[in-house]
Amino acid sequence: MWLRNCWYVIAWGHEIPAADDSRLFTRTVLGEPVLVYRTAAGDLVALEDRCCHRHAPLSVGRREGDCVRCGYHGMKFEPSGRCIEIPGLDAVPPKARVRSYPVVQKNNWVFVWMGDPARSDTALLPDNFSCESPDWKHRPGYLHYDTPYLLICDNLLDFSHLSYVHEKSLGGSTRIAQARPVIEPVPGATPDWPQMGIKVSRHIQDVPPPPFYQRFRQFDTHLDRWFVYDFLLPGTLLMHSGGRPTGAAPDAPGPSVRLHSCQTLTPETETTTHYFFQQSHPVGEGDDTVTESIYNSLIGAFNEDRDMITAQHRNIALDPQRAMLPLAMDAALIQFRRLLQTRVEAERQGPVAA
């Protein structure tokens, strides 16, 4: 169940070579190989990474100015996707072209629009402000999953798993699983998108500091913790989280933790997923060792997630028709899946995507 008329992250901005770098970057999104590069002016170009002639990847060809030449038979394509030269032919057939995709960079995330280019709308881009802000520090991360992306969405929409999957890392208390989240709609960005996602708020009072916090800040008291995040279509989490000594006012002096996290899921194929993530801390509330500690803790915790979800996926594959047992803790993921299904159905009833 993929939504096509929306933005998907294909890369961190630093992954795309600079304009004067001849290397070509490629990554598969929704089962489509996509080539991304920068023109001499620094503009981003996204083309189908499949020559229209014999379907060889353009990414194994070469850059020639702002164009790309196929490494198999030498066809040359301009940034629009139109072929402008075929060795040995005097004229280029009008059908000699590859698909081009709307592409934009925002706060170091590079987004591609996988549906109808005429419907691309930057108003639908998420506010991943802490990915590139002078007020926040982080180290960017990427993981590859051999699982469908919706299983990872489910995991991010139900933080009760922190008590068990991440007992010795991000969690540290069974009270997280016992806390009941508040779930609210996230208003739409445009009239055509009346709802962008759901907001999940989970507050946990008077719990021990998790091992994650203790790695970069020492506490000798229990904490009040919070996780407040928007989970937006097609699969992006934007979260404020943290902890302060139990009973302390939000602006009280003393040790506390404030974090902002941006995580997004991009389906590679039906059964594989790209996972882009970072967790930022405010500048002035920790040095580079804190940044590195947070990153290393996330890698460890997200590998715990990946191991669990991969094992889950293997079990599901053995009997795909077996129904799961819905429970109260599934409320957020059920609401999100219903919202996604509504958008997918609306898209199918509208103009056919290019």
Cβ atoms 229, 199 nearer than 8 A:
yes
Which structure tokens are listed for 302? 């997200």
Q: Which of 121, 111, 97 shows the shortest CA–CA distance to 16?
A: 111
pLDDT at 352 over 50: no
- With cut-offs at 50, 70 and 90, classify the pLDDT of residue 353: very low
- Taking domain 134-349, whether its CATH number is 3.90.380.10 is answered by yes
Q: Which of 28-32, 67-71, 170-174, 239-243 has the lowest mean pLDDT?
A: 170-174
How far is 228 from 239, CA to CA, in rounded Å? 6
Q: Are strands 223-232 and 236-245 parallel, antiparallel or unpaired?
A: antiparallel
How far is 103 from 94, CA to CA, in rounded Å? 24
How far is 57 from 33, CA to CA, in rounded Å? 8
pLDDT digit string, tens, across residues 262-318: 999 999 999 999 999 999 999 988 889 999 999 998 999 999 999 999 999 999 999
How far is 160 from 149, CA to CA, in rounded Å? 19
Fold of the 7-119 domain: Rieske Iron-sulfur Protein (2.102.10)
- CA 233 to chain CA mean position, Å: 10
**pTM of the shown model:** 0.94
More confident position, 174 or 106: 106
DSSP string, 255-287: --EEEEEEEEEEEEETTEEEEEEEEEEETTS--
pLDDT digit string, tens, across residues 38-71: 999 999 999 999 999 999 999 999 999 999 999 9
pLDDT digit string, tens, across residues 174-186: 878 788 999 999 9
How far is 27 from 200, CA to CA, in rounded Å? 31
| Every domain of the chain and the residues it spans | 7-119, 134-349
Nearest-Å Rg of the Cα atoms of the chain is: 22
**AA letter at 9:** V
Q: Give me the chain's average pLDDT, please.
A: 93
Report the percent of the chain where pLDDT is more than 70: 98
